[in-house]
Amino acid sequence: MNLILFTPEETVRPLPRTDPRARHLLDVLQRRVGDTFDAGLRHGPRGKGTLAAIAAAHLELTFTWGDPPPRPDPVTLVIGLPRPQTARKILREATAIGVAAMHFVATDRGDPAYARSTLWTDGEWERHLVAGAEQAFCTHLPIVTHGQALAEVIATLPMAAKRLACDNYEAPASLSQAAPPAGTPCVLAFGAERGWSAGERTLLRECDFTFVHLGNRVLRVETAVIAALAVLKARQGTM
């Protein structure tokens, strides 16, 4: 953890010794009473925490806050719901790179069973967002939805956003050629692990998506998402 995140409620009560953050402070960072560490409030400022006391069952912490970090670039991901181990990687790494929202959608070629994973049903997905934000020294977590139909999510997207759909087979141009200027809201859409169906391609075109590719290699979904974000942000000068 480069930054340890807390909710406002957690900053006014002791941190249990069983909490992974407490173990990280004592065992990894090797902080002792009086030592400080980098802390952040979710969606709020960064600052310094101080280890005020170590009890048998908990740690006493105090905090001083500074300014919030910049908000993530206005990039929204729409992703055909992948297998859980793939979704975990995307949640963590896309948060670290910086996106405003991620929508994991049901698609024609996706496996409906993926939506019933404990990743989604037990709230595990949020822990991966926190890990990505802490890695990036940022306090902002993206908005995340899962399980909605592609058409439902498209209907909620900002009208002014540049809409790009990654596709290995029917894209006339590369993402680097189609990337909008920095600051322009952008939606990047990715099919499920077996790609878009013909009906989904028709829907995307009808909803003003431009098909783009990432070269002539077929990539795993998690690799395609990270590569596309890197290309987009490099073209915009934000990475």
Both 141 and 192 in one domain: the answer is yes
pTM, two decimals, is 0.93
pLDDT at 1: 78
> Residue 100 sits in which domain range?
75-236
pLDDT at 19: 96
Both 48 and 87 in one domain: the answer is no
Of 38, 65, 92, the position where a domain reaches its end is 65
Q: How confident is the model at residue 211 (pLDDT cuts 50, 70, 90)?
A: very high
CATH number for the domain spanning 88: value is 3.40.1280.10
Both 229 and 167 in one domain: the answer is yes
Q: How confident is the model at residue 97 (pLDDT cuts 50, 70, 90)?
A: very high
Mean pLDDT of the chain: 94
Both 79 and 55 in one domain: the answer is no
Number of domains in the chain: 2
Per-residue pLDDT at 239 exceeds 80: no
Both 82 and 10 in one domain: the answer is no
- Rounded CA-CA distance 192/194 in Å is 5
Of 16, 37, 65, the position where a domain reaches its end is 65
Q: Span 122-127, mean pLDDT?
A: 95
Quick: pLDDT tens for 136-154.
999 999 999 999 999 999 9
Both 130 and 221 in one domain: the answer is yes
Quick: pLDDT tens for 180-191.
888 899 999 999
- 59 found inside a domain: yes
- 70 found inside a domain: no
Q: Span 37-52, mean pLDDT?
A: 97
Both 103 and 58 in one domain: the answer is no
Both 56 and 132 in one domain: the answer is no
